[in-house]
Structure 1
């Protein structure tokens, strides 16, 4: 099997270029393009740097991803919330993911 060339990543890279032009005002995600899925890019938003759920929604809306396709999950025994959605942009598949720390539940009552 031949290795994927940089030209083989051109669909995702062109889409990335358009994202920077069209949506440069949105919060900056972690970006990932790889040779395993050359027509896909991944945008990941992490809670430690920004309000990742609000940023996820801004990106979802900008990319025109149907809100009904968003999936919710948890990891780390429920300590991290995860939103995921996929859509198409400029011929590339875009996987959008947000990670957010789950709020610590308030303790009601007390030791008696």
Structure 2
């Protein structure tokens, strides 16, 4: 059977609910897919501080954050939580400040 937009309704409802209940959080790239209909992906590309705002806003424990640090100081942070019965995955991309740590995200330079 072919997947339809209606099959993504639950994820779209979660995205709309996040906008209503967490509208104070930084703007993000929000994606649903026909492949993972029970998940909403949120990507933050402007700063790691934006990721931290979302992490705190969704009540995700800091110890649940996965991360990778690259040789050039670029890194990503990623975490998952349940929201209205679906998985919400947040991913943040940015540059770690010299002498910084994974627990201290900083804004990227424009």
Measured against the shorter chain, the TM-score band is 0.7 to 0.9
Q: Determine which of 57, 61, 64 is the counterpart of 2:52.
A: 57
For these two proteins, the number of residue pairs brought into alignment is 99
- Matched with 2:23 is 24
Query: Which secondary structure state, in structure 1, belongs to the residue aligned with residue 13 of structure 2?
Result: helix
Q: Which is higher, the Rg of structure 1 or of structure 2? A: 1
Distance across 1 between alignment mates of 2:62 and 2:2: 36
Superposition RMSD in Å:
1.6
Matched, 1:11 2:10: yes
Q: How far is the alpha carbon of 1:74 from its aligned partner?
A: 2.5
Q: Determine which of 65, 74, 85 is the counterpart of 1:70.
A: 65
Distance across 1 between alignment mates of 2:97 and 2:52: 19
Q: Determine which of 77, 83, 103 is the counterpart of 2:77.
A: 83
Are the equivalent residues in 1 in contact too, given 2:42–2:88 (CA < 8 A)?
yes
TM-score w.r.t. structure 1 length? 0.79
Distance across 1 between alignment mates of 2:72 and 2:81: 26
Q: Determine which of 86, 90, 101 is the counterpart of 2:95.
A: 101
- Matched with 1:41 is 40
TM-score w.r.t. structure 2 length? 0.80
Deviant stretches of 4+, over 3 Å: 102-105
Are the equivalent residues in 2 in contact too, given 1:78–1:102 (CA < 8 A)?
no
Query: Which secondary structure state, in structure 2, belongs to the residue aligned with residue 37 of structure 1?
Result: coil
